[in-house]
Amino acid sequence: MTILTGFPLKLLEQSATERLAYFENYTVAHPRLKEVYETLVRTIAEPAGASFIFVYGPSGIGKTTLRLRVEQKLTELALPKLESDRGCVPVVGVEAVAPESRNFNWKDYYTRALIALALFCHSPGGRSLEAS
């Protein structure tokens, strides 16, 4: 009889610190997260007039993981363009800060977005905002 444990059995022979590190770094792909990922990438590729896409939910649900994976996928999709235009910015990630009041702070959001772009533009390989 084969018992599927979901983790390497050799892990049981490791120290408690190594076992803990394994599980701290382990990510389980939730089926709903996969579905949202595919929908999000498709929506970005074919926006149909959408200028903003909001992803929201409780803490720890995987919003940042989703954003990072989507950024990685968009960068992969942009590789042919990046080969011919090294100044192309395929994606800039900006996390919106939850408002303390009921009103979203658009000024803060755009300030963070511009800072993220400026950091890219001043990094090696980036280009100035004027050249964009």
Per-residue pLDDT of the chain (132 residues; tens, 9 = 90+): 455 557 788 888 999 999 899 888 887 767 788 889 999 998 888 878 767 788 888 888 888 889 889 989 988 988 888 888 877 778 877 777 777 778 888 888 888 888 877 776 655 555 444 443
State which amino acid sits at residue 15.
S
Residue 37 in contact with residue 66, Cβ under 8 Å?
yes
Residues 6+ away with beta carbon under 8 Å from 123: none
The distance of Cα 81 from the centroid of its chain, to the nearest Å, equals 20
Q: 86-101 as b/e, with b when 16 or more CB fall inside 10 Å?
A: eeeeeeeeeeeeeeee
